[in-house]
A and B are shown apart, each in its own frame.
Chain A
Amino acid sequence: MRILFKTSYLDDIRLFRHGGNIFWYGLLAVCLLLAPAVLREFYVGELSQVFILAIAGVGLMLLIGYTGLASLGHGAFMGIGAYVNTYLITKGVPFVVSFPVAGLAALAAGVAVALPANRMTGIYLAIATLAFSQIVEQVVVRWESVTRGFQGMPVPPPDLFGHRLATAWEFYYLCLVVLVVVVLGAINLTRSPTGRAMVAIRDSEISAQSLGVNLVRYKTIAFAISAFITGLAGALFAHKLKFISPDAFNIILSIQLLLMVVVGGLGSIHGAIFGAIFVGGLPQAIALMRDYLPGAIAKTPGLEPGLFGLVMILIVLFEPLGIYGRWLKIKAYFDYFPLYRRATFKRQRSYLKTERVR
Chain B
Amino acid sequence: MDDRDIALSTARDARAVHSVRPYWFLAALLLAVASATPWIGSRYHVSFMFLLCMHLAMAATYDIVGGYMGYINLGHGAFFGLGAYVYGATVLRGGNPVLGLLLATTAAGLFAGLVAVPVFRLRGVYFAIATFGILKLLEVLAANLEPATGGTPGLSIPPTPSTLPTFFLMLAAAVAAVGLSGWICRSRLGLGLITVREDEDVAEVSGVNTRWIKRRMFMLSALIPGFVGGTYMWQITYVDPVSAFGFEVSFTPIIMAMLGGTGTLAGPVVGTVFLTLVEELLWSRLGYLQLTMYGLVLVFIGLVMPGGLMRSRPFAHVYRVLAIPDHYGYRSGRRRP
A complexed with B = no
Interface residues of A (CB under 8 A from B): none
Interface residues of B (CB under 8 A from A): none
